[in-house]
Amino acid sequence: MGKTVIEIDKKQIIFYPNDTPNVPVVYANMYQEAGRAVLKQCEKLGCRPFHLVSVSHLRWEEELSPWAHKPVISKDNHFTGEAEQYARCMAEKIIPFAEGQIKVPYRIIAGYSMGGLFALYAPYITDLFSGVVAASASVWYSEFVSYVKSHDFLKKPDAVYLSLGDLESRTRNPFLSRTEQCMKELYAFYQENKIASIFERNPGNHLKDTDYRLAKGIAWMLESKGE
């Protein structure tokens, strides 16, 4: 089966179907479309079968941020907190497009960096996903860890995958330098709440082996779900 490409609300949606029936769908928010590269890494890892929906051409800082935030890396950062609006777009347009002709046992939300932050926020604003893959997620985001600890899930995830490069927190930036500590706190929270979870450290900085890191999370999630 060949891939299907469509534009929805100025976003590029690519559906990579799997020939195996009744397998889950992974929805991956990507800064640049890398679906084929992620699938190749998944194949190398011996990943269980799944359909992949890649979403790119996003307004990265705007649509994936949970609430407004001041600039962090440059004065041009534009975190406007539009994650809930984007979640509605996924529910009302992207998922119906992807799943119109297939039977799906469950869905996984996956992402890298801000895409990983959105994945972790998703269980609080939608009941669509059973698993969360957050690779090198932007968990430094102000008040995010406090939010996670103090709010109820709309749908409690069955499993959460967390990963981080071992050099990512070695920076003088006061926000980014706390990424690892925030990740540790989130991992402890998921463990305390009896959610199957793992926190993996990868070699390198934030931009190293991005496709591989995302694929590792997907592979672990599918094994954890055992479908």
Give me the pLDDT at residue 219, please: 97
Phi/psi of residue 56, each to 5°? -135, -175
Q: pLDDT tens digit string along 106-133?
A: 999 999 999 999 999 999 999 999 999 9
Tell me which residue range forms the domain holding 50.
Answer: 4-225
CA distances from 169 to 36, 140, 164, 179 (A): 29, 10, 9, 6
Query: How many structural domains compose the chain?
Result: 1
Q: Single out the residue of 63, 74, 76 nearest to residue 29, CA to CA.
A: 63
Residues of the chain above pLDDT 70, percent: 99
What is the per-residue pLDDT for 226? 64
Nearest to 112 by CA among 209, 180, 45: 209
The pLDDT value given to residue 1: 55
pLDDT at 189: 97
Residue 72: the pLDDT is 72
Query: What is the chain's pLDDT, residue by residue, as a tens digit (227 residues)?
Result: 589 999 999 999 999 999 999 999 999 999 999 999 999 999 999 999 999 999 999 999 999 999 988 777 777 778 899 999 999 999 999 999 999 988 899 999 999 999 999 999 999 999 999 999 999 999 999 999 999 999 999 999 999 999 998 887 888 778 889 999 999 999 999 999 999 999 999 987 777 889 999 999 999 999 987 64
Q: CATH number for the domain including 21?
A: 3.40.50.1820
